[in-house]
Chains A and B, each alone.
Chain A
Amino acid sequence: MKLYVYAVTDLSPDLTDLSGLQHEPLETAALDRAFAIVGRVADGVPPTRTTLEAQDRLVRAMHERSRSLLPARFGTLVTDEDALRRHPALQQDVLGPALERVRGREQMTLRIVTDRPAVAPVADEPPADPASEGAGRRYLERRRALEALPEEARAVTRAVAALTRGERSQRGSVAGVLATVYHLIDRGRSADYRAKIAEAGTLRQGVSVIVNGPAPAYAFAPEDR
């Protein structure tokens, strides 16, 4: 049997009334000052709409029972607990700041779309690490990230700055998507967030902003190693 990994949390939540994608019991595997929520399965399941929806529902339920939760990517299987505990991405120096960053928060997603020609893609802007960097550096990194976005995205981002506790963004590479911006906000503030976006007013002709959320902090996992 392998371990199918659903999420990582800072405290072990009550999972007794939840079961996994294959109806397996859920359990927590202790890491260094964190826990992985796993199910024991023979193999994974294919990514169909049904299985994606099922995992999303599960992760949302886990999110509601946790003060700090990082979802795992769909389809993540590891051989056993030892492999889980040894993994570089699950060490305290990586997980600790990431769990702290999402504690008491949830994700909102903004997609800025247009009918204008495509723009060149750029890589994701890495999230600032508040535990290890100074305020000046964080400011400069945030400013650089914002400047990398099109003006439409920056205008929308400014509108919700007071509610934003973390941000990641990526520019689009296909005609139609100018940028996608992911924001961390305090839990329960999504209505205020949407109101701020609406107050930002009309954008240029042919440019739209689509708001999604709240959701668990999918986009705020530690960077790939």
Chain B
Amino acid sequence: LEAAIVADGPAARHSLASALLDGPDATLVELVDNLLDKGVVLDAELVLGLAGVDLVYVRLAALLCAADRVVSSADPVSRRR
């Protein structure tokens, strides 16, 4: 995955979003967004419990409007959709 800033300003470079989306976590942001918040959803077990999930996912998920996908899955083992 390749990320590129096309146009920005000094303030943007220091924002949380820019830091995450263009920094070392950029690839992880895309992984979390694509694999945990997108894709075909079946009425099946989703192994997305918080146990074993680094807090960075919660932070990234919140940034990507996907917090409910991870944070609401309070059941540490699994959840059903």
Interface residues of A (CB under 8 A from B): 2, 5, 7-8, 43-49, 52-53, 55-56, 70-78, 83-84, 87-90, 109, 111, 113-115, 121, 170, 172-177, 180, 194, 197-198, 200-213, 215, 218-219, 221-222, 224-225
Contacts A46-B51, A180-B64, A215-B30 known; A76 to B42 CB distance under 8 Å?
yes
Interface residues of B (CB under 8 A from A): 1-18, 21-22, 26, 28, 30-49, 51-54, 57, 62-65, 78, 81
How many contacts A-B (CB < 8 Å)? 206
Which residues of B sit under 8 angstroms from A84, Cβ to Cβ? 42
Give 11 new A-B contacts, CB below 8 A, not counting A109-B33, A205-B9, A211-B2: A47-B47, A73-B37, A73-B39, A74-B35, A84-B42, A115-B12, A176-B18, A207-B9, A207-B12, A212-B2, A221-B38
Contacts A115-B11, A170-B65, A212-B3 known; A73 to B46 CB distance under 8 Å?
yes
A46→B22 CA distance, assembly (Å): 26
**In the complex, what residue of chain A is closest to B49 when comparing beta carbons?**
A46
Instruction: Give 25 pairs: A residue, B residue, CB < 8 Å, sorted on A.
Output: A5-B42, A47-B47, A48-B54, A49-B31, A52-B28, A71-B38, A87-B42, A109-B30, A111-B21, A115-B18, A170-B65, A174-B17, A176-B63, A177-B21, A180-B65, A194-B4, A197-B6, A204-B9, A206-B11, A207-B8, A208-B13, A208-B18, A209-B7, A212-B3, A218-B39
A52→B80 CA distance, assembly (Å): 20
Say whether B21 contacts A210, CB under 8 Å.
yes
Say whether B40 contacts A210, CB under 8 Å.
no
Which residues of B sit under 8 angstroms from A197, Cβ to Cβ? 6
Say whether B47 contacts A215, CB under 8 Å.
no
Interface centre among B42, B45, B47 (most CB of A within 10 A): B42
Grouping DSSP codes into helix (H, G, I), strand (E, B) and loop, the A interface class, with mixed when no group exceeds half, is mixed
**In the complex, what residue of chain B is closest to A182 when comparing beta carbons?**
B38
A205→B26 CA distance, assembly (Å): 22
**In the complex, what residue of chain A is closest to B35 when comparing beta carbons?**
A74
Say whether B31 contacts A53, CB under 8 Å.
yes
Contacts A75-B46, A207-B8 known; A177 to B39 CB distance under 8 Å?
no
Which residues of A sit under 8 angstroms from B4, Cβ to Cβ? 194, 210-211
The smallest C-beta distance from B10 to any residue of chain A, in angstroms, reads 8
A47→B26 CA distance, assembly (Å): 17
The smallest C-beta distance from B19 to any residue of chain A, in angstroms, reads 9
Say whether B1 contacts A210, CB under 8 Å.
no
**In the complex, what residue of chain B is closest to A224 when comparing beta carbons?**
B41
Say whether A56 contacts B34, CB under 8 Å.
yes
